[in-house]
Chains A and B, each alone.
Chain A
Amino acid sequence: MSTLVFLEHHEGRLQKGPLGVLAKAAQLGLEPAGVVIGEGVRELAGDAGRFGAAQVYVADDARLAAPLPQPRVDVIAALVREHGFENVLFAQSVLAADVAAGLAARLDAGLNWDLADLSIEGGELRGTRAALADSVHAEVGWTRAPRLALVRSGTFDPVETGAGAAEPVDAPVELEDFSTAATMVEQAHAEQQGPSIEDADVIVAGGRGLGAPEKFSLAEGLARALGGAVGATRAVVDAGWYPYSAQVGQTGKTVSPKLYVALGISGAIQHKVGMQGSSTIVAINKDANAPIFEFSDLGVVGDVHEIVPKLTELVKQRKGA
């Protein structure tokens, strides 16, 4: 089954997520090709060979410099039409999700997202998807090719298969007018790190349930008492309550501390993928139905404003003793 993997890159490096998907596809015997899209990205093609790509299509064009999805749909759709790829695989990201969904509409192709595994059953590609806040696992498939898949971030490790450098092949770049209408005014670059939370043994993370930016002092106080770092959800980072460097989740950090304390966090999938590797998860949320309780070791139904000040005092006492 001819398979194409979208190789996302940032600041001159291929991302781990898509390399993991590439390695998985190679391991499944799909003999995947990769596609790298951008400006000045030719060198990146070679790197993909070590992760299992026999060939890498390269679309190198100044109009592709900004990581915007719509022109990437044009490039990949042309490759699928020309070479008849049966599977197009993506590692989930903000960019990849938009490319994959645009491509699905362009090709009238099925898209399964948030896949936690890929397999071949009876010669057919299958996916495993956790649905309804991970309360159900679904085996999913496609009614016909091309089959498009978004794999949940961090699912597959980028293992080197030992194969040599991939052969770069030029991909044609013909862009639709509407695809180039959106423009990047200012592009994100890896922000100057604050104190790194990735190495912390204890993380106290705050979400919108803290109620107000100044209430992050509750998370900070408890973190200090426990000797840990402070984390945050995207909702509070987007709202400007806390810096991006503290964000945990799909578009933030992936952490696996010994203890993760979630204060006023609902437990959305995109948050969960960044912290589910924590050894012990304690959540305080006033909504007994909050999804976070589905994957907490200790779930406390209650108000953070009542519980956290007392908890911080008690921890200080214990530590002092």
Chain B
Amino acid sequence: MKVAVCVKQVPDAAASRRIDPASKRLDRSGETALNPFDANAVEEALRLKETAGGDGEVVLVSLGPEQALDALRKGLAMGADRALLVADEAAAGSDLVATSYALAKALEREQPELVLFGQQASDGDGACLWAAVAERLRRPAISQVAELSVDGGSVRGKRQTEFGYDTIEAPLPAVVAVSDAINEPRYPSLKGIMGAKKKPQEQLSLAELGVEADRAGGAGSRTVVLALSAPPGRGESRRIEDDGSAAEQIVAYLEEKRLL
């Protein structure tokens, strides 16, 4: 089975994140990483391939700046077979509508039987892009999947909603978004890291994909950020680094707040 995994490059969690006041877009110039939630989707794809005795292909698909190749390489090091990056300056600032359009074009070109998504992008927290992409591909979709099985021509997912756990089934080809608890992503081995550089990494512009200029970036987006401000703080908050006395300090704090 051919599985495409949609992955995003995000600012590294350890780096401080900021929104550029001029463009009102996220500053993406610092250290970057593979969206941690997407590692679960890559892992799930690799497991499906391994269960099939190594049959099939795992392709990473991403829309992002050229540097996103670094994040894609992490997925290749985990074991994905190749990567397709849609990189174009004109795609900067794409919102849900524009991003889903470009990704759907890339996926139409790839024709995978299964498209996997991560739980959410750690920089945008939309947790819904898959639904827009599935709509454009005209494929059934299952989201929030914590347990996935593929059987013959269909996928089955167990997932949590506000009311407990559902089990949903869909015929392939289909789109599935996984939960961050579906598996424990593997760490790339040294061999994997060395091998990743040599794996096919294709880069395409919007024009090469057939994405019209007015459907990408700011022009193709339908939402705008008008103004930015600091959120109201939670009042005074204290921080301690454990030096062996944290337990005592917590107890003292609870006593001070009359919580003990």
Give the segment of B55-63, B75-83, B107-115, B252-260 that binds chain A: B252-260
Give the segment of A32-40, A48-56, A79-87, A305-313 that binds chain B: A305-313
Give the segment of A57-65, A105-113, A157-165, A166-174 that binds chain B: A105-113
What distance in Å separates the Cβ of B243 from its nearest Cβ neighbour in chain A?
9
**Which 3 A-B pairs rank lowest in CB-CB distance, beginning with the nearest?**
A302-B242, A110-B222, A238-B181
What distance in Å separates the Cβ of A179 from its nearest Cβ neighbour in chain B?
8
Q: A138-B225, A301-B239, A301-B242 are in contact. Are A97 and B167 (CB under 8 A)?
A: no
Taking a contact as CB atoms closer than 8 A, the residue among A189, A208, A259, A298 that contacts B237 in the complex is A298
The residue in chain A whose Cβ has the minimal distance to the Cβ of B126 is A113
Q: Are A298 and B180 in contact (CB under 8 A)?
A: no
Q: How large is the interface on B (under 10, 10 to 19, 20 to 34, 35 or more residues)?
A: 35 or more
B146 located at the interface, meaning its Cβ lies under 8 Å from any Cβ of chain A in the complex = yes
Q: How large is the interface on A (under 10, 10 to 19, 20 to 34, 35 or more residues)?
A: 35 or more
Q: A139-B225, A238-B179, A319-B260 are in contact. Are A132 and B128 (CB under 8 A)?
A: no
A7 located at the interface, meaning its Cβ lies under 8 Å from any Cβ of chain B in the complex = no
Taking a contact as CB atoms closer than 8 A, the residue among B146, B163, B167, B226 that contacts A189 in the complex is B163
Q: Are A102 and B135 in contact (CB under 8 A)?
A: yes
The residue in chain A whose Cβ has the minimal distance to the Cβ of B180 is A235
Q: Are A139 and B182 in contact (CB under 8 A)?
A: no
**A interface residue numbers (CB < 8 A to B):** 10, 67-70, 73, 93-95, 97-102, 104-106, 108-114, 126, 130-144, 150, 176, 178-179, 181-191, 202, 208, 226, 234-239, 244, 250-251, 258-259, 269-270, 280, 282, 284, 288-289, 293, 295-303, 306-307, 310-311, 313-315, 318-319
Q: A234-B160, A244-B164, A282-B253 are in contact. Are A139 and B227 (CB under 8 A)?
A: yes
What distance in Å separates the Cβ of B114 from its nearest Cβ neighbour in chain A?
13
Q: Are A102 and B162 in contact (CB under 8 A)?
A: no
What distance in Å separates the Cβ of B105 from its nearest Cβ neighbour in chain A?
13
A111-B223, A244-B160 known; 5 new pairs, CB 8 Å cut-off, are: A150-B128, A182-B142, A234-B179, A298-B237, A311-B246
Taking a contact as CB atoms closer than 8 A, the residue among A73, A143, A270, A299 that contacts B135 in the complex is A73
Residues of A within 8 A of B257 (CB): 280
**B interface residue numbers (CB < 8 A to A):** 13-14, 17, 19, 24, 26, 95-97, 100-101, 123-136, 138-144, 146, 156, 159-171, 174, 179-182, 221-231, 234-242, 246-251, 253-255, 257, 259-260
Taking a contact as CB atoms closer than 8 A, the residue among A105, A238, A319 that contacts B132 in the complex is A105
Q: Are B224 and A142 in contact (CB under 8 A)?
A: yes
Give 27 pairs: A residue, B residue, CB < 8 Å, sorted on A. A67-B161, A93-B162, A94-B144, A94-B159, A94-B161, A97-B143, A98-B131, A104-B132, A105-B97, A105-B133, A137-B229, A139-B226, A176-B138, A178-B138, A181-B140, A182-B174, A188-B160, A188-B166, A189-B164, A237-B160, A238-B160, A244-B160, A259-B254, A293-B239, A297-B236, A300-B242, A307-B247
